Amino acid sequence: MRRIILIGYMGSGKTTVGRALSKELNIPFYDLDWYIESRMRKKVSQIFAERGEEGFREIERNMLHEVAEFEDVVISCGGGTPCFFDNIDYLNRQAQVVWLKATPEVLHRHLLMGKGDRPLLKGKTPDELLAFIREQLEYREQFYSQARYTLDVSLMDNYDKIKITVGKLRELLDL
């Protein structure tokens, strides 16, 4: 049974890499945010607006406990998932957990390019965004770094590099 879970900051490529890995391994892919949205029939941004971050984190934990029971899957978490409650311990018990690690500058670039609807980043100027990423990453690293595996994805910026990253991931996890 294989269960692989990707964690890391927003913009680190968890969804892109997770989807590509699941295709190669021919097993289903779940993105925790999408799972939450389909179970709750609401966008993550709507849940934040209605219940605040605290309400979202409760839902996120409950939904995590559903998806992380599935077998033979690749799962990508939300950027904050491992940083609340005892989620990182639970993740490590359940799966091969990989932190997709990137510098604040790389994450900043990805997040400026992406059109994702991310409530925590809403309304920030590019400079404010970089400062926010730096500060939040510094705090979150204590959780991310507890992942059993770490893969540096700072150089992953195009399709070829996604393939290379998936290859590295397979090597790392012996898949």
Closest CB to ligand S3P among residues 31, 169: 31
Residue 60 C-beta: closest distance to ligand S3P, Å: 7
Nearer of residues 44 and 130 to ligand S3P, judged by Cβ: 44
Q: Which of 79, 91, 101, 151 binds ligand S3P (CB under 6 A)?
A: 79
Q: Which of 120, 129, 131, 164 binds ligand S3P (CB under 6 A)?
A: 120
Extract the tokens encoding 175: 């898949």
Instruction: Compute CA distances 120 → 53, 91, 108, 151, 161, whole Å.
Output: 9, 23, 14, 25, 28
Interface mask toward ligand S3P for 16-45; x: CB under 6 A? -----------------x----------x-
Is residue 98 helix, strand or coil? strand
Cα–Cα dist 102/4, whole Å? 19
Judged by DSSP in three states, 149 sits in strand
Is residue 118 part of the contact set for ligand S3P (CB under 6 A)? yes
